[in-house]
């Protein structure tokens, strides 16, 4: 049932809101129930611009980021031998996601994604490490966009001992 809020105001220690909902006849009726903070829990919210893919997203960890499709860059790799993919945006960027598809369930070995930090090896960080034994499709979306400096690179590696045909797509947006 759709609802509409009206006359919302906030005072110290008190908040009031009038909520109206349509009844069976289509007339708006005020809802007079009581809400407390424990009644509503929202894990994540996405506000999308109608007619485009531009959106604002508040993640479950309460972090806000803006997504503009015009700013997105995709890079892909495919093959059936060992994975040794280097992603080098060469601009300040936010890593959005990494998608992996295999033609069949993977083979033993660990796929890793490492941020090769432009500040030096002392700052390199493993972002993802996943055993590929039972994986065919995997989508990794960081809890929040991972910030890459123009001098950073992502190294994606996997031995691919079973010779599976893979497709890897990395998506980032300019920061």
**Tens digit of pLDDT for each residue in 114-149?**
999 999 999 999 999 999 999 999 999 998 778 999
Instruction: Domains for the chain: give ranges and CATH numbers.
Output: 1-41 (no CATH), 71-174 (2.60.120.1120)
Mean pLDDT of 145-166: 93
**pLDDT > 60? residue 33:** yes
3-state secondary structure the chain: CCCEEEEEEEECCEEEEEEEEECCCCCEEEECCCCCHHHCCCCCEEEECCCCCCEEEECCCCCEEEECHHHEEEEEEEECCCEEEEECCCCCEEEEEEEEEECCCCCCCEEEEEEECCCCHHHCEEEEEEECCCCCEEEECCCCCEEECCCCEEEEEECCCCCCCEEEEEEEEEC
**pLDDT > 90? residue 166:** yes
Instruction: Render pLDDT for 65-107 as a digit per residue (tens, 0 to 9).
Output: 555 555 678 889 999 999 999 999 999 999 999 999 999 998 7
Look up the pTM and report it. Answer: 0.62
Q: Higher model confidence: residue 21 or residue 85?
A: 85
Give the number of other CB atoms < 10 A from CB of residue 26: 6
The pLDDT value given to residue 6: 47
């Amino acid at each position: 049932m759709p609802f509409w809020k009206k006359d919302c105001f906030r005072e110290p220690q008190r908040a009031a809101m009038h909520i109206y909902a349509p009844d069976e006849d289509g007339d708006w009726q005020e809802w007079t129930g009581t809400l407390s903070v424990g009644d509503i829990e929202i894990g994540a919210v996405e506000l999308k611009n109608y007619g485009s893919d531009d959106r604002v997203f508040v993640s479950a960890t309460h972090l806000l980021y803006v997504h503009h499709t015009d700013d997105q860059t995709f890079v892909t790799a495919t093959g059936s031998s060992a994975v040794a993919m280097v992603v080098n945006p060469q601009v300040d960027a936010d890593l959005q996601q990494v998608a992996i598809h295999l033609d069949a369930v993977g083979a033993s070995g660990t796929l890793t994604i490492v941020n090769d930090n432009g500040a030096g090896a002392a700052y390199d960080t493993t972002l993802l490490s996943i055993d590929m034994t039972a994986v065919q499709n995997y989508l990794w979306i960081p809890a929040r966009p991972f910030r890459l400096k123009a001098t950073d690179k992502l190294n994606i590696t996997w031995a691919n001992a079973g010779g599976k045909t893979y497709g890897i797509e990395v998506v980032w947006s300019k920061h």
